[in-house]
Amino acid sequence: MFKDNPYESPQAPQASPAAKAKANANYTGAACPNCGVSDARSPRFTLWGGAIGHRILSHVICNGCRKTFNSKTGKSNLGNIILYQVVVLGIAGTLGAMAGLFAWLG
């Protein structure tokens, strides 16, 4: 009679395996570790890396689930982002200290 059970909770539609295997012609990196989709894009700007940080770290956003990951390894970039921030802040601090020293000597 009924194709679906009318007393069952509604279920979210499931993507077919063929949809998960769909690949973006422009994307050649690793598949998303969260949903398995091989369709991702590079962000234009990130708060932690500006306009170039994400390019240095191969950081991409999955078009399937919007999670971010490293396109080369398929893993999280969190450790790399922290290291990137330490290096950038260290360089900025050193340059600031040098400018202060030159102004004091000056």
How high is the pLDDT of residue 21? 47
* 21 CB-near residues (< 8 Å, 6+ apart): 38
- Beta-bridge mates of residue 18: none
- Tell me phi and psi for residue 69, to 5 degrees: -165, 175
Domain ranges (residues) in the chain: 17-105
Q: How confident is the model at residue 95 (pLDDT cuts 50, 70, 90)?
A: very high
Q: Residue 22 pLDDT more than 60?
A: no
Q: pLDDT over 90 for what percent of the chain?
A: 63
